[in-house]
Amino acid sequence: IELRVLAHLADEPTLVEAFRNGEDIHDRTARKVFGPSSALGAHELRRRAKIINYALLYGKQAFTLAKDIGVSRQEAQEFIDAYFAGFTAVRAFLDDILVHARETGVVKTMFGRRRLVPDVNTRNFQMRGEAERKAVNFPIQGTAADILKRAMIDVHRALGRVAGGRARMILTVHDELLFETPKEAAEETAAAVRELMEQAVTLNVPLDVDIGIGENWKEAKE
């Protein structure tokens, strides 16, 4: 969900197009970063692209990214440069976040939830770097969390009308919700939950929801 939030907030045309077309966003990133003539296999390219996608969301630099994907620091920096060259609106969006944070000491989610980042202007390099990573990440990850909370409220209100009132929400894990429902009402519950979660907010990309059904969480995940 964070990458969908990024596509919306940054209004990055390539990401928006990919999500609207139902493409695999990590494959799309791989083509942007590594090009069509890379000697690496498709699986490895996607693996690296996925790490890069999330690393940049969390404000990681070349040194950390190099360790994550097993390349030199120079290569990692080249991948970062290629990413931002391919997704220029993302670069502009992240830069704007830091400018605003330095001016105000505050960053916000799409819904106005605030986080203070007073160390973003400190002279201490390590403290400033950590504050910058938090400043870049919060509007994206915080917005994703806000969306899930809104979905949970909507679903909770509707559960009394689903499966004869016998379905219940029992757990949230990151961007997942876990429900318990009578077996004969599982499909009905799943359909209602999917519709409500996908309509939790309106973005310029779809909020796709995957559903799994099973006797336990492990079965449902498979």
Tens digits of per-residue pLDDT, 52-94?
A: 888 888 778 888 888 888 889 998 898 888 888 889 999 999 9
Beta carbons of 56 and 80 less than 8 angstroms apart: yes
Q: Could you tell me the pLDDT band of residue 37, with boundaries at 50, 70 and 90?
A: low
The mean per-residue pLDDT over the stretch 20-48 comes to 82
Tell me the pairing of strands 114-116 and 106-108. Answer: antiparallel
Distance CA 16, CA 25 (A): 10
Q: What is the pLDDT of residue 210?
A: 93
Q: Compute the mean pLDDT over every residue in the chain, rounded to the nearest whole number.
A: 91
Q: Are 28 and 38 in contact (CB under 8 A)?
A: no
Task: Return the higher-pLDDT residue of 207 and 43.
Answer: 207
Handedness of CA 85, 40, 46, 57 (dihedral sign): negative
Rounded to whole angstroms, how far apart are CA atoms 105 and 51? 29
d(CA 30, CA 53) in angstroms, rounded, equals 10
- Tokens at residue 176, please? 């997942």
CA 101 – CA 134 distance, rounded (Å): 10
Question: How far is residue 68 from each of residues 34, 60, 71, 105, 138, measured CA to CA in Å?
Answer: 17, 10, 8, 30, 22
**Tokens 């003539």 belong to residue:** 37
| Segment 153-208, tens digit of pLDDT | 999 999 988 888 899 999 998 889 999 999 999 999 999 999 999 999 999 999 99
Q: Are 98 and 135 in contact (CB under 8 A)?
A: yes
Residue listed under structure tokens 């996908």: 198
Token digits of residue 168: 């219940």
Residue 36: the pLDDT is 66
107 beta partners:
115
Residue 39 has pLDDT above 80, yes or no: no
pLDDT of residue 59: 78
Q: Which residue has the tokens 């400190």?
A: 122
The type of residue at 22 is G
Strand 176-180 relative to strand 106-108, pairing: unpaired
Contacts of 78 by beta carbon, 8 Å cutoff, 6+ apart: none
Q: Report CA dihedral (204, 96, 29, 210) to the nearest 10 degrees.
A: -40
